[in-house]
Chain A
Amino acid sequence: MSPTDLAIDVTGVTKKFDGKTVVDAIDLSVRRGEIYGFLGPNGSGKTTFIRMLCGLLTPDAGQGTCLGYDVLTQQAEIKRHVGYMTQRFSYYEDLSIRENLDFIARIYDVSDRAAAVQHSLERLGLQNRSAQLAGQLSGGWKQRLALAACLIHNPQLLLLDEPTAGVDPKARREFWDEIHQLAAAGLTVLITTHYMDEAERCHRLAYLAYGKLLARGTLAEVLAGARLNTWRVTGPGLLELAAGLRGRPGVEQVVAFGNTLHVSGRDAAKLDAAINAVRDPRHEWTRVRSGLEDVFISLMDEAKDNFA
């Protein structure tokens, strides 16, 4: 793979705030045209990492390129070609939709600004609301405006920081359809999320906890790499069963899903031993594929054991 095929190619990226390491030696390569999902618990360093990619923060250590520009020295060039959507709505609430888009277009010195603003209003279905003040929009519309604004200068890379937090399922689905269309047209997208269904819509994933990258790859690779064994139990008295299983060696997660219980552990032998100890003929045990959430929680627990 030649370096020009990589939109993001960084190694050893580290950031410390007041001596506390928030992002710890992360290596990441993202191919052009790829939707890359960035997952991890709150405070795991996702936002800090994204801010370093788009030139808002300077890494304390590490090196690499973003769109072929050096992340340490060419921040101005990076800013010109990256669209960054912040976690919190960060456009002007006392400006109308059109005025916000027009302002951003002017800041990026977009050629044929009027057409660009009009095109972006139309593509996102905002043309009927263009005179409305941004502050009066609902969460879903604010998100559409933010996406329109960070696309107006035709960026090559889109960095989206929890774009769908607080957005209803229908708007979320439409948002993801849009992202897939953009990626199909060649745009690279790095997106952070807490939603597992969204993670499954990404081409590749990375999981971050305590500032470290714990897993990465396609969905199948991440699931396989975790080597987590999961059993599904159905039957009566699941609450008592769950209480009996928790704390036994080898049992790492016992999670209730409606009328079933998922029991997982990394060490298959120990897990089997624990299950045998509480086996009851009334329960039906089935070996299932571990879910992404099970895997991530397991990764986090493991990380806590190792680093915390």
Chain B
Amino acid sequence: MSAAALHRLSFYRLWAIVRKEFIQMRRDRVTFAMMVGIPLMQLMLFGFAINSDPKHLPTAILAADQGPFARTLVAALRHSDYFALTREPATEAEAARLLQLGDVQFVINLPEDFSRKLLRGEQPTVLIEADATDPAATGPAISAVRAIADTVLNRDLTGPLARLRARAGPIDFQIHAHYNPENITQYNVVPGLMGVVLTMTMVVITALAITRERERGTMENLLATPVRPIEVMVGKILPYIAVGYIQVTLILLAARFIFGVPMIGNLALLYGVSLIFIAANLSMGITFSTLAQNQLQAVQMAFFFFLPSILLSGFMFPFRGMPQWAQWVGSCLPNTHFLRIVRGILLKGNGLAEIAPEIWPLLLFLAVAMTVGVKRYRQTLD
């Protein structure tokens, strides 16, 4: 944009657009209710529903040995909370069928010589068969089994049997799980939802902004007036920054008072950084709306942007688990950086210095999206 054009930027015209957008927002009550309602609905839905540490998984036990050691082992598995012993099949074939049908997640096989071998010091084998079609569902339970097996029988192996107790390994690992020691999924998901909800609503709202004017024919009129592209774009973005802040506040309130998410860091800093993120998403939406021919296309583009923002940002799956190229793609998305900022401020108490490496990519994204949007916004119908 040339210096002369910038010189003619009028705050008076900008304000005219902002006012108009607010009036239209007020008239479209359904959309406004959705913009406020959707974040709350999603927060409740996902906040309560998503659990990366599944427990009480249905388990079948095939116990050929009913001795005291076997009973202790079974009780320990049940007390771990990972296994709910729901079936006791009579045969191996029946057990296999339960696994096949998906009625149980695990089948535990205790051989008939379990106690005998144990007493002889022969290290009996306990077979645990898992339906591992979804590794995330079985993983935590399987690692819990190993911990149980080491210690479970120590109490029963007394007197002369004490020699059978598990011996300590050569190394003692001390593990301190910082910031979320109890591994509570909500602490990770609820702050993450802030970025997801903002990405979804902000991009869609503005993706429609210019396409709607074009479809309704009002764009031709707007183009015939002295109003400049930057005034139209900024005028359409400003009102929705207010909406974005309403969403941020609602999510933070719910996170604090419904999910009890710890908030260690500075909330004022979080509010400040949110402005960059909201503006980045709004600019992206505006850019989409200058590319789309109609409102349907605009919504499709918004979804094309939304999916990787969920899947590759580290919201749903661990960011470091992705191959390098996918991490690069993820790093181009504003949500990836915003997630780290929100989790960093809320859970880890990060300050400006710690989140700075995540702020500049957001600023860069905002600058690029805004520039493309202004360039793509046609001042004529050519």
Contacts and interface: CB of A to CB of B under 8 A. Distances in A.
Given A51-B381, A92-B218, A106-B12, A79 B27 contact: no
Contacts of A93: 216
A57 B382 contact: yes
Interface string B216-251: 111111111111000000000000000000000000
Contact of A80 (B217, B218, B220, B226): B226
A56 B225 contact: no
- Chain B: interface residue count, which band? 20 to 34
Contacts of B217: 86, 88-90
B225 A107 contact: yes
A298 interface: no
A109 B12 CA distance: 7
B328 to A, nearest CB: 39
A99 B217 CA distance: 18
Interface in B301-343: none
A103 interface: yes
B250 to A, nearest CB: 26
A182 interface: no
B276 to A, nearest CB: 29
A57 B380 contact: yes
B8 A94 contact: no
Contact of A94 (B12, B27, B381): B27
Given A51-B381, A58-B380, A94-B28, A107 B220 contact: no
A54 B224 contact: yes
A54 B225 CA distance: 9
Interface in B168-201: none
Interface string B1-33: 000000010101101100110011001100000
Interface string A60-72: 0000000000000
A103 B16 contact: yes
B226 A79 contact: yes
Interface string A89-106: 111111100010001101
A95 B24 contact: yes
- Chain A: interface residue count, which band? 20 to 34
A234 interface: no
A17 to B, nearest CB: 9
A133 B26 CA distance: 13
Q: Which of A51, A54, A99, A107 has the most CB of B within 10 A?
A: A107
Dominant secondary structure of chain A at its interface with chain B: loop
A55 interface: yes
A76 B16 CA distance: 18
Contacts of B15: 106
Given A94-B28, A95-B24, A108 B225 contact: yes
B218 A79 contact: no
B243 to A, nearest CB: 17
Contacts of A106: 12-13, 15-16, 19
B23 A95 contact: yes
A95 B25 CA distance: 11
Contacts of B220: 56, 86, 88, 90
B347 to A, nearest CB: 43
A231 interface: no
Contacts of B226: 76, 79-80, 107-109
A104 B28 contact: no
Contacts of A95: 20, 23-24, 27
A38 interface: no
A85 to B, nearest CB: 9
A156 to B, nearest CB: 15
B382 A76 contact: no
Contacts of B23: 94-95, 99
B10 A109 contact: yes
Contacts of A84: 221, 224
A44 interface: no
A98 B220 CA distance: 20
A76 B8 contact: yes
A127 interface: no
Nearest to B4: A76
Given A90-B221, A107-B227, A57 B13 contact: no
Given A75-B380, A94-B27, A95-B23, 18 more contacts: A54-B224, A55-B224, A55-B380, A56-B380, A57-B381, A57-B382, A76-B8, A86-B217, A86-B220, A86-B221, A86-B224, A92-B24, A95-B20, A103-B19, A106-B15, A107-B16, A107-B225, A108-B226
Closest 3 pairs (CB-CB, A-B): A106-B16, A90-B221, A90-B217
8 contacts: A57-B382, A76-B226, A79-B224, A90-B217, A94-B27, A95-B24, A107-B227, A108-B226
